A and B are shown apart, each in its own frame.
Chain A
C-alpha cells in the first residue's frame, strides 16, 4: 500500500496505509513503513548501474531465535573478552538480505612440489655400553614433481556490501546453496535488501584470491608421497561465472559503552552460525600473563624445594 514517485537516486514513497512519507535510500532495494509496519515491498527499477540479483536464499532463522543466538554467543566468549561486552545485550537486530558475489571458474594450474618418499635404512652405531650395534631408521628421499591440475572452482562467495567485511562473511559461511531460489521480489517482502555497494571488479578480485586459496588447499591433498613441501603453483582462471545473490543474515550492533564504536555481530539467517569481532580486554590479557608467570614460578619453587629435601 505504498505509492511512489521516482527520483534518480533516493526514492520517495508514500505509504498508502498511514500516509507517511518514506525515503527509500540509495543503498537499499526494499522498504518497510516504520510507522505502521506495513510490510509491502518496493522493488527499485533496475538501471544500468544496478544489477538485479540472480538468486536469493530465503530466511530460515526468525528474529527471536537470531537474537537468542547472538546473546548466547556474546555470553560464551572467552575470558579475555571485555566485561562490558559480555554483559551487553544485542540491539537493533535487523534481518538483511546482503548482496553477495557468487563466483565460479575453471582453474588451470601448473605446480611444482618437493615430494618426500620414505625408506628404511640400517646403520651401525655404538650403544650405551660402547658396543657396535645395527639399527634401522626411516629416511626421506626428496624428489621434485611438476604437473598440471584442472578443476572447477565453485560456490565462492564474497561480500558485495561495504557494510559487511568479507572476513566476517567467511566466518558465518557456509550457506547451503542448494536452497537457492531464482530471485523474485516476493522473497524480499517485508525484509530489508541491500544494494551491491562493492564494485564488481573489486568483488572479482576478492573472488580470485579466494579461488586461488581453494586451489592451493586442493593441491595440498592432491600430492602423492609420504610428505611434501615447497608447493609452488600458478593458476589461470577461465570460463568465469559470477552472479549477484542475496543471502539472509541477521545483523546486530553491540555497543559495550557509550564511548566506543558498536561491534557488529552477524548471524547466518539460514544455518544459525554466529560470528563477530570480539573486543579483547588488554587489562585482562596482561593480568592473565602475569598470573601465568606467577604460577610457573610457584611450580618451580615447589619442584626445587622437593629436590632440595631429597
Chain B
C-alpha cells in the first residue's frame, strides 16, 4: 500500500482516506495539512472570475453568483466499496467438477443409487464473491436470564464483562452465494495468500461490492455484535439454558479488509431437475449443494423399520406366551 495507514488515536481502528471522524468511536481525525494563514481577515473569491462567492443551500456548496461555478469543499466521502485483496483460485475447473462428482457419491444411502453416474454437470463457473474480513478487540458487557441460580422463577438474572478477540471473521457481501453456502466454504480459505492482484480463470464472474463504505461499516459492526452475542451465549452465560441475552461491545482496533473469495459454482441435472453445488476455490474437499433424495429408499427404510418392529413384537409376544 502506498499510503501511510493512519489509525484512530483513541480506539486504534484504521481511518480511511476521507474520514473526518472515526467510524467506531467518533474521535476527530486531524486534518492532513494545517490551514493556518497569516492573513487577519479572509475574503473568499471565485476561482473562475474573481468575484465574491456565497454558500448556496440549494447546491450545498459556495457558488459564484456571476459565473455559476461551484467550489469544492472537503467533506465526508462515502465511496462504493471495492476489493482490495484477491484470494487466488488454487483449484481448476476440472478439479472442481471431479470434486462435485466425488461429493455426489458420498452423500449416503438415502440418495438415489445412480446419482453419481446419471448426474450431468452442466455449467462450471468460476466466481469471485465479495466479503469483508475483520479483526477486532471488544470489551463486551452483557446481561442475560439463565436457569443457573434460579429460585422459584425459572430464570435468574446474570451480568458480566468479557474481553473478546476476533480474528479473520468473514462477513459476506455476496449476492451470488447464500449465507449457508458462504458459511460452509469460509473455513477453507487461507487469507494469508491474498494479493492485490491475481490472475483469474477464464470466464470468471467477479462480483462487485454494491454497498457504500458507511453501510459496509454498519454491517461489519452488526456482525461483531452478532458474534459477540454468540460467544457470550456459548462461553460466558452460566447454566444450561438462557434467554434475553443483551450485549454491548466496545470495539477497539477494528481492522477490516475487502476481499474477493474464489469459488466454483456449478449446476448439475438429475432426472430433469437442476441442482446447484458450490466448491471452495481453494479446497476441493469443501463442497456444498443441494441433492435429491431417493423416495423409494426412504419408503423402504420406513416400511423396513415398521416391519422390524412388528417382527420384534411378535417374537416378544411368542416368548411371553411360551413362558
User: Which residues from chain A sit less than 8 Å from chain B, CB to CB?
Assistant: 1-2, 4, 6, 11, 13, 38-45, 54-55, 58-62, 95, 104, 106, 115, 117-119, 121, 139, 141, 143, 145-152, 154-155, 178-182, 184-191, 218, 221-225, 239, 241, 243, 269
Contacts and interface: CB of A to CB of B under 8 A. Distances in A.
Interface in B13-64: 20-21, 24-28, 31, 35, 40-44, 52-55, 57-58, 60-62
B187 interface: no
Nearest to B140: A150
A225 B242 CA distance: 11
A45 B40 CA distance: 5
A148 B141 contact: yes
Given A117-B157, A182-B31, A239-B10, A191 B55 contact: yes
B74 to A, nearest CB: 5
Contacts of A141: 151-153
For the complex of A and B, 7 pairs with smallest distance between CB atoms = A147-B159, A190-B54, A117-B153, A43-B42, A39-B54, A59-B57, A115-B157
Contacts of B151: 141, 143
B60 A58 contact: yes
Contacts of A155: 26
B152 A150 contact: no
Interface in B81-130: none
Contact of A58 (B55, B245, B250): B55
Contact of B21 (A147, A180, A184): A180
16 contacts: A39-B52, A59-B55, A62-B58, A117-B157, A145-B159, A147-B160, A151-B141, A152-B250, A178-B78, A179-B76, A182-B20, A185-B42, A188-B55, A222-B143, A225-B155, A241-B27
A111 to B, nearest CB: 8
B3 interface: no
Contact of B61 (A6, A58, A117): A58
B57 A58 contact: yes
A143 B54 CA distance: 63
A60 B150 CA distance: 56
A189 B214 contact: no
B54 A225 contact: no
B145 interface: yes
Interface string B284-319: 000000000000000000000000000000000000
B7 interface: no
B55 A225 contact: no
Nearest to A185: B42
Given A151-B141, A186-B71, A41 B43 contact: yes
A182 B53 CA distance: 19
Given A39-B65, A178-B76, A224 B144 contact: yes
B10 A190 contact: no
B67 interface: no
B161 A41 contact: no
**Most A Cβ at <10 Å: residue of B27, B143, B150:** B143
A159 B157 CA distance: 40
A38 B156 CA distance: 70
**Most B Cβ at <10 Å: residue of A6, A152, A191, A224:** A224
A231 to B, nearest CB: 12
B154 interface: yes
Given A148-B161, A241-B28, A6 B40 contact: yes
B78 to A, nearest CB: 8
A108 to B, nearest CB: 10
A119 B246 CA distance: 21
B195 interface: no
B244 interface: yes
A41 B42 contact: yes
Nearest to B160: A147
B80 interface: no
A186 B54 CA distance: 8
Nearest to A42: B41
B227 interface: no
Given A54-B28, A145-B157, A225-B157, A39 B10 contact: no
Contacts of B248: 149-151, 218, 222
B4 interface: no
A224 B244 contact: yes
**Most B Cβ at <10 Å: residue of A42, A118, A185, A189:** A189
B73 interface: yes
A4 B39 CA distance: 11
B75 interface: yes
